[in-house]
Structure 1
Amino acid sequence: MLDTAALEAWFVRLPEVLAATDPVWLVAAIFTGVLAVCMVAVALLWRASLRRARADADRIAEQTTAQTQALHDELTGLKERLQSLSELSLHGQTQLSGALQERLDRVSQHLGEHLQAQQRDTAEQLSQLYQRLSVIDSAQAKIADLTGRVVSLQDILADKQARGAFGQMRMEAIIRDALPSSAYSFQPSLSNGTRPDCIVRLPGTTEPLVIDAKFPLENFERLRTAHEAEARKTAAAQIRQAVGRHVDAIADKYILAGETQDSALMFVPSESVYAEIYEHFPDLIQKAHKRRVIIVSPNMLMLAVQTMLSIVKDARMREQTDVLRKEVSALTQDVAKLAQRAAGLQRHHRLMGEELDKLAGLSETISTRGQRIDALDFDEAQPPAANGRATG
């Protein structure tokens, strides 16, 4: 390393040396001096950079130490937090384990109670099932008895008169349930001596609608029980013949010009028979339409009766509307009379008001004269009262 003290001493002695030195050596010495100065500058720069490097290194070391300390502190805090978290986790795990155990105990208790309740319910249901089985046994006995009664009913329906009575009862039940008693009659007499099963009186006309309930059902039973093609063909032919005769009988006996409606209803007391006619006997339907005989089932008769009921209600409503119109007209006349009387009363009130005004003026005049008399003021120069009725 370069000695700066020696260099400084050499520079102090440099003038003396230059005076006693040969020019050649002087140039060399100058060059050497410049070189030495450069070396000194370089050395000084190097020492300054070294000091800066050491300062930077110290600063970096301090920063590193501070960062290391901060990191150590953070690690210490993190360790403490991890320890706290571990303790909390352990505590929470303990609580969770206790809660789970408690819940498992409750679930076990609830499950035991539920099983006991289910056993009781099962026992009760089995007891009820035994009771229902006994009821079913008694119901089977009743069904057997009812089966015997149905067989007897079939025997009854095998009779033509019994079947007619059955259809009559069904038709009458539908009519009674829907229409008021004044709108129908059962088995009335017509002018030709016939007695239809029912007539329905429609509003707005004196010609009732006839309903016949005597429908031939025996041939349909033969068609239902027939299994051979020839037997079915024979039964179908008998149905066409019987139903066709019945349609002609209704049209001839119950459709009377000027006495009944130009159409009549033929009641079929069975929906299945009605469907059979419309599905397999379209020729009978066409014949009935031509003779103005309408074939109806219980449901169709109920619909027709509901339509008739709507017509009856509408007619009654129109009658009530006429009555209401008359009442409204009378009420309008009464209101007009009331308006006239109110106008007269108002005129009387106006006249009475005018008279009251005059009476008030006269009263004021009398009061003024009384005051003058009390004050002994008989000055004739004062004008009389405004009404002009005062006497001197």
Structure 2
Amino acid sequence: MQQPLFIVAGRSITLGEAVLALCGLAALLVILLVIAIWRGQRRQAEAEADRYAEERAVEDRIGELVRLQSEMTGRMNAMAEVLGRRQADLVHGLSERMDMLGHRVGEKLAESTRSAHADLSKLNERLAVIDTAQKNLTELSSQVVGLQSILSNKQTRGAFGQGRMEAIVQDGLPRGRYAFQATLSNGNRPDCLIEFPNGTPGLVVDAKFPLEAWNAIRAASGPEALRAAEAQFRRDVIRHVRDIAERYLIPGETQETAFMFVPSESVFSDIHERFEDVVQQAHRLRVVIVSPSLLLLSIQVIQSVLRDAEMREQAHVIQNEVRKLIEDVGRLDDRVLKLQSHFGQATKDVEDILISTRKVKQRGARIDGLEFGEEAAEPAPALQRDLLAGE
């Protein structure tokens, strides 16, 4: 036993030591095996406990699920009942609304029908008005054709310009301030003579504007024809302007300027735009080319002048009347002063009368206060003095 078996780290290991070490190792292995078995059993027990706990938890969850399922079933039944009631209410409400909607749609359709009938009647009335307007347009077109025929004739065209000028003058001036076809001292008769107050010379208005050359300008088909028509128009207008200046401008009898009336605003504007030399020539001859609007404006100015002259005449009348009124007021003042003196004298006389009546009242009171007896044969001395003082 004491025989060494091997040497470890310089130390010899004997058989006994080796046997003891093996026994200790065997004992240690047994202990470790027992510990491992115990741990395995413990782990198995813990696993069984965990499995049991899990089974209990699963059973609890299954029970909870069964309880929740029963509650859910009850809730679903209640919800189904509520939904059934709501569906019935909804169907009832929808039926009522559909009935109301049908009633309203019927009323709207009836109202639309009535409105459509009313609109159709109005449409028929408007169509009747349109037919009437169409007839009026037809008549107007015939009148325009007649107007064209009038303007194509020189005499009728002159009458048309004369009529328009006379209408403007008659509308703007009072009667007695104008004369148509009046005879001048040289024997000529202008279309219109506008008279001014205070012996001022009258204003001549001529309405015979030459439109033949102007119509030729509008009817010109080429440049050569247009130039020829414009030249003819210049000659005609200047000749007519000279005739007006020679016939109607009479010193001391008519104004130094005369009017040449153009019965068309478009013709008037074209003359001033395209024939400035003609306008300047007319101004040099003291003849003013006027359109209907300018003639109307001139008539309004003349009317203002006439009104101012009438106001001045009336102002003189008013001054005379005011002068007479001042004289009447002076006489009234003298008479009032005399009346005041009479009132003063009458007041003094009234005051004297009041003094006398007051004295009479005082004396009567004193007489009424006296006592008359058998012994009083003579008046009292004081009463005698008063009577003597009042004489």
1:291 aligns with 2:293: no
With 154-163 and 360-369 compared, the bigger mean Cα shift is at: 360-369
Rounded Cα–Cα distance in structure 1 between residues aligned with 2:262 and 2:234: 15
Rounded Cα–Cα distance in structure 2 between residues aligned with 1:175 and 1:152: 25
Per-residue deviation, residues 212-240 of structure 1 (Å, max 9, x unmatched): 10110111111112131111111111111
Counterpart of 1:360 in structure 2 is 354
Cα shift at 1:369 = 3.9
Conserved 8 A contact 1:274-1:297: yes
Counterpart of 1:310 in structure 2 is 304
Counterpart of 2:55 in structure 1 is none
Conserved 8 A contact 1:197-1:213: yes
Rounded Cα–Cα distance in structure 2 between residues aligned with 1:247 and 1:101: 94
Counterpart of 1:209 in structure 2 is 203
With 185-194 and 135-144 compared, the bigger mean Cα shift is at: 135-144
Counterpart of 1:331 in structure 2 is 325
Which amino acid is the alignment partner of residue 296 of structure 1? V
Secondary structure of 1:210's aligned partner? strand
Which amino acid is the alignment partner of residue 356 of structure 2? L
**Alpha-carbon spacing, 1:144–1:261, altered in 2? closer, same or farther (3 Å):** same
Counterpart of 1:379 in structure 2 is 381
Counterpart of 2:263 in structure 1 is 269
Cα shift at 1:132 = 4.4
Rounded Cα–Cα distance in structure 2 between residues aligned with 1:191 and 1:247: 20
The residue correspondences of 1:1-392 to structure 2 (distance < 5 A) are 109-110=103-104, 112-130=106-124, 132-133=126-127, 136=130, 139-140=133-134, 143-144=137-138, 146-373=140-367, 375=370, 377-379=379-381, 390-391=390-391
**Alpha-carbon spacing, 1:268–1:107, altered in 2? closer, same or farther (3 Å):** farther
Rounded Cα–Cα distance in structure 1 between residues aligned with 2:186 and 2:101: 89
Secondary structure of 1:181's aligned partner? coil
**Alpha-carbon spacing, 1:111–1:327, altered in 2? closer, same or farther (3 Å):** farther
Rounded Cα–Cα distance in structure 2 between residues aligned with 1:166 and 1:265: 17
**Alpha-carbon spacing, 1:112–1:333, altered in 2? closer, same or farther (3 Å):** farther
Secondary structure of 1:240's aligned partner? helix
Secondary structure of 2:185's aligned partner? coil
Rounded Cα–Cα distance in structure 2 between residues aligned with 1:106 and 1:241: 88
Which amino acid is the alignment partner of residue 145 of structure 2? V
With 373-382 and 238-247 compared, the bigger mean Cα shift is at: 373-382
* C-alpha RMSD of the superposition: 3.2
Which amino acid is the alignment partner of residue 304 of structure 2? S
Rounded Cα–Cα distance in structure 2 between residues aligned with 1:314 and 1:105: 82
**Alpha-carbon spacing, 1:379–1:185, altered in 2? closer, same or farther (3 Å):** same
Conserved 8 A contact 1:210-1:261: yes
Secondary structure of 2:147's aligned partner? helix
Rounded Cα–Cα distance in structure 2 between residues aligned with 1:316 and 1:247: 34
Cα shift at 1:364 = 2.6
Per-residue deviation, residues 123-145 of structure 1 (Å, max 9, x unmatched): 44345445544654565455445
Cα shift at 1:244 = 0.5
Rounded Cα–Cα distance in structure 1 between residues aligned with 2:277 and 2:243: 17
**Alpha-carbon spacing, 1:111–1:254, altered in 2? closer, same or farther (3 Å):** farther
Secondary structure of 2:236's aligned partner? helix
Q: What TM-score, normalized to structure 1? A: 0.66
**Alpha-carbon spacing, 1:357–1:102, altered in 2? closer, same or farther (3 Å):** farther
Rounded Cα–Cα distance in structure 1 between residues aligned with 2:385 and 2:326: 57
Rounded Cα–Cα distance in structure 2 between residues aligned with 1:343 and 1:103: 100
Secondary structure of 2:390's aligned partner? coil
Rounded Cα–Cα distance in structure 2 between residues aligned with 1:203 and 1:110: 80
Which amino acid is the alignment partner of residue 379 of structure 1? P
Rounded Cα–Cα distance in structure 2 between residues aligned with 1:324 and 1:102: 89
With 230-239 and 326-335 compared, the bigger mean Cα shift is at: 326-335
Cα shift at 1:336 = 2.8
**Alpha-carbon spacing, 1:109–1:241, altered in 2? closer, same or farther (3 Å):** farther
Unaligned runs of 5+ in 2: 1-85, 371-377
Cα shift at 1:146 = 4.3
Conserved 8 A contact 1:362-1:389: no
Counterpart of 1:88 in structure 2 is none
Rounded Cα–Cα distance in structure 1 between residues aligned with 2:282 and 2:337: 71
Secondary structure of 1:182's aligned partner? coil
Cα shift at 1:313 = 1.8
**Alpha-carbon spacing, 1:264–1:389, altered in 2? closer, same or farther (3 Å):** farther
Conserved 8 A contact 1:219-1:238: yes
Which amino acid is the alignment partner of residue 290 of structure 2? V
Cα shift at 1:328 = 2.6
Rounded Cα–Cα distance in structure 2 between residues aligned with 1:301 and 1:382: 107
